[in-house]
């Protein structure tokens, strides 16, 4: 009886502290340092969903405190892109973050991040060339610059990024390595809706008619990965996947197979980890997705949470969606 009564009591989850200035951020971080506590960072643009919350839970397992940044970074949007209509829901985000175990939300105003006179840009090459960069030429300079600033402001021992944005994860790893930044970048598996669609803040742009079509991007990548594993010629297989998606109502920007570390094109599967990646418009919504391919893809499912239809770790789908850490 006593046990039951205890279980019914609502669990108190403290709301994370919200800070908007570098001074307030530095004060909190200093108090943690003095208490001997390490901290992890999860950079986001807000409008949070279960995919973001999984990053927070993973961060919790790597440090005693978790900082989540919420900053819709203007410098990674081209003038033609969706900066002004990008979804924002700070109040809702705080409630979700409390339940996921976030301690501090760093939500600076753009003028706090880029004060008058700001004139420096990090321009990554290597993994930042091709794929997304062919269609969003300004994107990775914006990402690399804001991440460099976030790492300098927050000084985390660990930063968590999602494999959902696989090229971004590779670029951030490269920037951290090339500039000798004292932190570890950890990639987290993509969290999907029950029908396979990768969760994204931009999914809310999809119309009721487009929503059932959207998971076909993941489905086509899964078939492509299988065809490549069975030995199909890679360029032809990618072209066929692109044609299929275009025929189903997408407007494909790229479908590609790449080395998972360098993101260089691959001619055939060998012992190195590989990835298939795609970007395609469905109406006014740009969707991106990627899957591990080859022997390195058989590890573990992305997450039990948010994958209600997850078919089990030994299924073909599990192998497609699993993560590879390098």
Binding region for ligand AMP (CB under 6 A)? 44-45, 51-52, 54-55, 161-162, 164-165, 188, 190-191, 198-201
Residue 182 CB partners (closer than 8 Å, separation 6+): 157
Least gap, CB of 210 to ligand AMP (angstroms): 18
Least gap, CB of 13 to ligand AMP (angstroms): 21
Least gap, CB of 18 to ligand AMP (angstroms): 17
Least gap, CB of 189 to ligand AMP (angstroms): 7
Least gap, CB of 266 to ligand AMP (angstroms): 23
Of 29 and 191, which has the nearer Cβ to ligand AMP? Answer: 191
DSSP bridge pairs for 106: 19, 69
Least gap, CB of 10 to ligand AMP (angstroms): 28
Of 104 and 191, which has the nearer Cβ to ligand AMP? Answer: 191
Least gap, CB of 120 to ligand AMP (angstroms): 22
CA distance 218 to 220: 5
In 3-state terms, what secondary structure has residue 198?
A: strand
Helix 166-178 and helix 139-154, axial crossing angle in degrees, nearest 10: 60
Give the nearest residue (CB) to ligand AMP: 162
CA distances from 75 to 42, 154, 276 (A): 19, 19, 27
Of 47 and 234, which has the nearer Cβ to ligand AMP? Answer: 47
Of 201 and 297, which has the nearer Cβ to ligand AMP? Answer: 201
**Buried/exposed code over 295-320 (b: 16+ C-beta within 10 A; e: otherwise):** ebbeeebbbeebbeebeeeeeebbbb
Do 229 and 296 form a contact (C-beta atoms < 8 A)?
Answer: no
Of 187 and 237, which has the nearer Cβ to ligand AMP? Answer: 187
Of 190 and 242, which has the nearer Cβ to ligand AMP? Answer: 190
Question: Which of 39, 36, 51 has its CA nearest to residue 150?
Answer: 39
Of 269 and 317, which has the nearer Cβ to ligand AMP? Answer: 317
CA distance 308 to 112: 40
Active site residue 39: no
Q: Which of 49, 52, 218, 324 is catalytic?
A: 52
Binning the chain into helix, strand and coil, the percentages to the nearest 5 are 40, 20, 40
CA distance 101 to 56: 7
CA distance 202 to 209: 16
Residue 24 CB partners (closer than 8 Å, separation 6+): none
CB count within 10 Å of CB 161 equals 23
Residue 202 tokens, joined: 């931009």
Q: Please identify every residue annotated as catalytic.
A: 52
């Amino acid at each position: 009886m006593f046990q039951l009564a205890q279980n019914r009591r609502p669990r108190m989850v403290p709301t994370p502290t919200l800070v908007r200035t570098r001074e307030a951020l530095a004060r909190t971080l200093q108090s943690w340092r003095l208490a001997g506590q390490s901290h992890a960072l999860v950079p986001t643009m807000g409008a949070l969903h279960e995919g973001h919350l999984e990053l927070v839970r993973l961060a919790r397992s790597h440090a005693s405190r978790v900082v989540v940044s919420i900053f819709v970074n203007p410098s990674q949007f081209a003038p033609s892109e969706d900066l002004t209509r990008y979804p924002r829901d700070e109040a809702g985000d705080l409630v979700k973050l409390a339940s996921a175990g976030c301690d501090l939300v760093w939500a600076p105003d753009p003028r706090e991040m880029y004060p008058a006179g700001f004139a420096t840009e990090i321009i990554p090459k290597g993994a930042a060339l091709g794929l997304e960069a062919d269609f969003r030429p300004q994107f990775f300079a914006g990402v690399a610059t804001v991440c460099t600033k976030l790492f300098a402001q927050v000084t985390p021992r660990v930063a968590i990024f999602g494999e959902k944005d696989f090229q971004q994860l590779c670029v951030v790893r490269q920037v951290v390595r090339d500039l000798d930044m004292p932190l570890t970048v950890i990639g987290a598996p993509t969290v999907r809706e029950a029908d396979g669609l990768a969760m994204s803040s931009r999914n809310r742009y999809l119309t009721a008619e487009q929503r059932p079509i959207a998971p076909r991007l993941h489905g086509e990548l899964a078939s492509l990965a299988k065809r490549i594993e069975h030995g199909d010629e890679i360029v032809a297989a990618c072209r066929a996947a692109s044609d299929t998606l275009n025929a189903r109502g997408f407007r494909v920007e790229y479908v590609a197979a790449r080395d998972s570390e360098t993101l260089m094109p691959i001619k055939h599967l060998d012992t190195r980890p590989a990835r298939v990646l795609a970007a395609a418009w469905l109406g006014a919504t740009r969707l991106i997705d990627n899957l591990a391919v080859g022997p390195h893809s058989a590890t573990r499912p992305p997450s039990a949470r948010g994958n209600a239809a997850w078919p089990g770790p030994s299924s073909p789908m599990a192998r497609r969606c699993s993560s590879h850490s390098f």
